Chain A
Amino acid sequence: MGVATMTRPAEDQRPDRLTAIAAGEIVPAVVHPEVAGESPVLEIDAFNLWYGPKRVLFDVGLAVPKGKVTALIGPSGCGKSTLLRGVNRMNDLIDGVKTTGDMRLAGDSIYGRNVDVIELRRRMGMVFQKSNPFPMSIRDNVTYALQINGERNRSVLDSVCRRALEGSALWDEVSDRLGDSALGLSGGQQQRLCIARAIAAEPEVLLMDEPCSALDPLATSRVEELILALRGEYTVLIVTHNMQQASRVSDYTAFMYLGQVVEYGPTAKLFTNPRLRETEDYITGRFG
């Protein structure tokens, strides 16, 4: 640890970084050079967000690499969910939310003037902290995104349903009761169903907000395997409170604090050799 501290560049050794953030100062994030080598599919540019008068995100900048899993970590209330929900504009549904700055999905502006939010959301999938299956059959749940998009062809829907359920490791458990109500599944099965629903439409980015927080260890490891399997094919942005999980599943990790990104870089480096002492303290559980 002492060695790591020695290797930190001088500009990262600001002693009062977190205090300054807490005081409302905007401190530029420390971004590892490896990030620049990736091709980003989602770029977040100086994004700010207010809930009414309360500012929650401060000049957040993040380039999410294509085909990689990126984890968002940080203490509770630091704005991880808010940032995630900002990506598919779920915050539009909340009264009194104001934003500045922009994001781009594969180059297309997300917060621009004439953006079709519906069309935009169809290009992303989202898995929520609490599973939220719809009051319909398992099959209809999985193919929901396609159905609202006007897909009627039964064989297309069936094959998509099967592929998505296999992808979320649920197929074996539900293949014989696809017509049953999804509300009859167990909590863990429901969450995997929601993942299947999110990946059914082959989204460009998969947003996951603590997808395992309500799952038992077995189901958690299945979901983690699933995320690992999705890597390469899908881009995943995942919020997690579980450091082991972040280190297991993610390629890149961003550490957030009070609405700002503090450090962003490859997971392996962030977890073994972070540039900031604050990051290390948080990851090792010394604060947060």
Chain B
Amino acid sequence: MSGHGEQPSRPRAGGVASGRLPSRPANALLSRNEPMVWLTGGGLVVGLLMVAALVSFVFWQGFVTFWPGPVLTLTTHDGRVAMGEVTRTERYLPDPTAVAALGPEATAAAVAEMASDDGRVRRRLVRTGNFELSGEHFRWVEDFQLAKGGEIREPWAFVFERMSWGRFYGVPEACVLGDSAVATGPEAVSALLRDRSSADAEAVIRVRTGDGALADLPLATIVRAYPANHLGVGGRLGVYVSRWHEFLTAEPREANSEGGVFPAIFGTVVMTLGMTLLVVPFGVMAALYLREYATQGWLTSIVRISINNLAGVPSIVFGVFGLGFFSYMVGGSIDAVFFADKLPNPTYGTGGIMWASLTLALLTLPVVIVATEEALAAVPTSMREGSFACGATQWQTIRRVVLPRALPGVMTGAILAMARGAGEVAPLMLVGAVKLAPELPVDLHFPFVHPERSFMHLGFHIYDLGFQSQNSEAAKPMVFTTTMLLMAIVLLLNAAAIWFRSRLGRGGSGSKF
């Protein structure tokens, strides 16, 4: 008698896994009514895969952006030199006349390459920098255009990141102070650049570019300089870390496409926290009234349906409302009463972090109300009855029994609202998010909190980098690092809220993620 005979009704999954049972026919899954398991599991897998793809794409792009690559010096047939970092590689269909115009040998090589890939050839986008000399930041270089031996890595090619004008590529020749050279030769200059403290701020670095021109870069304008082809892994890591550090802690420069995003991080966190502090009390109160006090009937149903539909209103409409109602009406009135001396310059009568928080609080209100209502509905009636039977009033019952029990659900609503609010951009463009805010909304100057100030926001920053930047090719990688940062901040805020929830809800129980 085998195990099969003894255990005819063995539960499904476990039986298959333990090899003691005789193997079942291939259609066993179907015969045991499990297609739904595969269907539902498949749905989950598809969803997860798409999310994983998005997240890993963002993270990959975000992480590699700051890694310093080598500096290539590419010389083409027409004698032009492109010195810089390769940012993108693609295969494209070249202009046939351009190919034919090459020398016979090069044409043959190009034709051979084209034959192997549907007539496509490779080209690379090189970040050449040196904008003040060349008038361009980037240049495409086709492989077939390269002269013989035209691709080299100049050992002492330097990348200079500057306060303005973008990056500069070249080989430093000397460090000049006034008329005398402080250091000559790339090695000496490199040592000097590594230890900036010994150098005079007035000094300039004389750099020879790829095409032989000489340029003087004032030392004071150089943010970071490194010999890209000379760095080992440790050196590259140093540059990488230093770039991240700058990104997280410094102010932006070069129209936001370089430098840090600290003001945007700060603005995002302050705005999101402000929004949460505003939306949770109101949402919870509204849900409490709807669920605990109001007599259920057609009126509450209508209110409920309306709240749910509020979630379908495009967020930009909330922005328009926020601008019209909060900024112009409420803010305008505040200005007229309290800041009349500053008019016509608005103080509160324009976009500001308080109005942005309020607008987003309005936007996320349905999330909180719906989640709270669900949590309240999940509190068993028997608990309420038990409390009433002890002689508790309705408020005592809510305060001591219903709310503690519903708290995890309420916090879940707050977390959802937070995540939704932190990623919102459209309404913020109308009510206070700006490309560049001169001051933080919270600082060390009295009265420390400045709710009327406009602010920077990571979501808006992403939009600005991706679509409003003049040097969009250079800003593009920053889109991903900034997105990654925004995701990390949302994750962090959520983790904090979940931690908070677990601390609060220790006496009770209920739904958990």
Measuring CB to CB, which residues of chain A are less than 8 angstroms from any residue of chain B?
88, 90, 93, 95, 118-126, 128, 130, 132-137, 140, 144-145, 147-149, 181, 183, 194, 197-198, 201, 207
Contacts and interface: CB of A to CB of B under 8 A. Distances in A.
B382 A130 contact: yes
Nearest to A135: B508
A207 B386 CA distance: 12
Contacts of B508: 135-136, 181, 183
Contact of A194 (B386, B405, B506, B510): B386
Given A118-B391, A144-B390, A148-B392, A128 B509 contact: no
Contacts of B401: 134-136
A134 B400 contact: yes
B507 A132 contact: no
19 contacts: A90-B388, A90-B389, A118-B393, A120-B391, A123-B391, A125-B390, A128-B382, A128-B386, A134-B400, A135-B383, A135-B404, A136-B404, A144-B400, A145-B391, A147-B400, A181-B509, A198-B390, A201-B390, A201-B391
B507 A93 contact: no
Contacts of B296: 95
A132 B383 contact: yes
B387 interface: yes
Contacts of A134: 383, 386-387, 400-401, 404-405
A132 B380 contact: yes
A39 to B, nearest CB: 25
Contacts of A90: 385, 388-389
Nearest to B397: A148
Given A132-B383, A183-B508, A93 B388 contact: yes
B447 to A, nearest CB: 38
Given A128-B385, A132-B380, A134-B386, A148 B509 contact: no
A149 to B, nearest CB: 7
B345 interface: no
A90 to B, nearest CB: 6
Nearest to B389: A126
A145 B392 CA distance: 7
Contacts of B295: 95
Contacts of A133: 386
A121 B385 CA distance: 11
B306 interface: no
B396 interface: yes
A207 B401 CA distance: 21
Contacts of B506: 181
Given A134-B400, A136-B508, A197 B391 contact: no
A135 B296 CA distance: 26
Given A132-B380, A134-B400, A181-B507, A148 B385 contact: no
Contacts of A123: 391
A120 B388 CA distance: 11
Contacts, number: 87
B509 A132 contact: no
Nearest to A182: B507
Nearest to B510: A135
A132 B393 contact: no
Interface residues of B, number: 25
B389 A88 contact: yes
Contacts of A136: 400-401, 404, 507-508
Contacts of A121: 388-391
Contacts of A201: 390-391
Nearest to A119: B391
Given A128-B382, A130-B382, A148-B400, A135 B389 contact: no
A128 B390 CA distance: 12
A211 to B, nearest CB: 13
Interface in B368-393: 380, 382-393
Please give me the 10 A-B residue pairs with the lowest Cβ-Cβ distance, nearest first: A135-B508, A122-B391, A126-B389, A132-B382, A132-B386, A121-B391, A145-B390, A135-B405, A148-B392, A148-B396
A130 B387 CA distance: 14
Contacts of A149: 391
Nearest to A89: B388
Contacts of B405: 134-135
Nearest to B403: A135
Interface string B294-327: 0110000000000000000000000000000000
Of the listed residues A126, A132, A145, A201, the one surrounded by the most CB atoms of chain B closer than 10 A to its CB is A132
A252 to B, nearest CB: 23
Nearest to B380: A132
Interface string B266-303: 00000000000000000000000000000110000000
A137 B507 contact: yes
Contacts of B404: 134-136
A194 B506 CA distance: 20
A144 B382 CA distance: 15
B509 to A, nearest CB: 5
A167 B331 CA distance: 63
Given A135-B507, A181-B506, A93 B385 contact: yes
B383 to A, nearest CB: 5
Nearest to B390: A145
Contacts of A137: 507
A149 B401 CA distance: 15
Contacts of A130: 382
Contact of B509 (A126, A147, A183, A197): A183
Contact of A135 (B388, B393, B509): B509
Given A93-B384, A125-B390, A136-B401, 4 more contacts: A126-B389, A148-B390, A148-B400, A197-B386
Nearest to B506: A181
Nearest to B396: A148
Contacts of B507: 135-137, 140, 181
Contacts of B396: 148
A52 to B, nearest CB: 14
Contacts of B385: 90, 93, 128, 132
Nearest to A179: B507
A23 B396 CA distance: 44
Contacts of A197: 386, 390
Interface in B399-421: 400-401, 404-405
A63 B344 CA distance: 81
A148 B401 CA distance: 11
Nearest to B407: A135
Nearest to B386: A132
Contacts of A183: 508-509
A90 B384 CA distance: 10
Contacts of B510: 135
A191 B258 CA distance: 66
A201 to B, nearest CB: 7
Contacts of A122: 390-391
Contacts of A128: 382, 385-386, 389
Nearest to A124: B389
B512 to A, nearest CB: 13
A236 to B, nearest CB: 15
Contacts of A124: 389
A14 B356 CA distance: 80
A78 to B, nearest CB: 21
B391 A148 contact: yes
